[in-house]
Amino acid sequence: MISFEEFKRLDLRIAQVKSVREHPGADKLYLMQVDLGKEVRQLVAGLRPYYRPEQLEGKKIVVVVNLEPATLRGEKSEGMLLAAQHDEDVVVLVPERDLPAGSPVL
Amino acid sequence: MISFEEFKRLDLRIAQVKSVREHPGADKLYLMQVDLGKEVRQLVAGLRPYYRPEQLEGKKIVVVVNLEPATLRGEKSEGMLLAAQHDEDVVVLVPERDLPAGSPVL
């Protein structure tokens, strides 16, 4: 169990995927540039087995924006996108209707 | 900033909305029964200004399932759904493609 205060420490935002390219050093990872409204960040995400770049580009997704940055196989990741998993499939979370990039998740 | 370990303490799941009715004691709140695959729980959610019940029923949404239960105006809430906000609008988060209720968010 976690408290509501713990949950509220998490900063989740709507982000728009600007571009997606293959991580040069990891065959399951993408390097994604995402627009958070006031800034663009790079995410490293393990979506390559599940999505083609053009299925992600332009899409509004959900990103944890206050996670400590990580370096994954030599590439900086400045956030983590949310995706659900079932069996061998992974599906990104999206807002049910369109919202501007940067919109907070309550 | 939060650590990855802190983030992983959060248990997010895909849930299917089974039914939605008005909270008898609060004009902005709904009482929602949601299916988490192995159990059905009640959520109290402030979606009444933004959605009609039939716009939510049947939909797959995203719920924090390990939040301490709360009582809101006399009704038990056993989880919190995720929704994004912009200006006067609130939009629920959904998986971009269909997944079974209970699927974990990574």
Q: Does B106 touch chain A (CB under 8 A)?
A: yes
- Terminal CA-CA length for chain B: 19
Angle CA B23–B31–B98, to nearest 5: 150
CB contact under 8 A, B105 and A86: no
Q: What is the pLDDT of residue B68?
A: 95
Q: Structure pTM?
A: 0.96
- Minimal CA–CA distance to B15: which of B32, B27, B30? B32
CB contact under 8 A, B91 and A106: no
- Minimal CA–CA distance to B47: which of B29, B32, B63, B31? B29
Give the architecture-level CATH label for domain A4-92: Beta Barrel (2.40)
Structure tokens belonging to residue B21:
């009715």
Q: Is the pLDDT of residue B106 over 90?
A: no
CB contact under 8 A, A85 and B106: yes
Complex prediction ipTM: 0.96
> What residue segments make up the domains of chain B, in order of their start?
4-92
What is chain A's pLDDT, residue by residue, as a tens digit (106 residues)? 999 999 999 999 999 999 999 999 999 999 999 999 999 999 999 999 999 999 999 999 999 999 999 999 999 999 999 999 999 999 999 999 999 999 999 8
Nearest by CB: A104 against B7, B85, B106: B85
Residue linked to tokens 């929602």:
B32
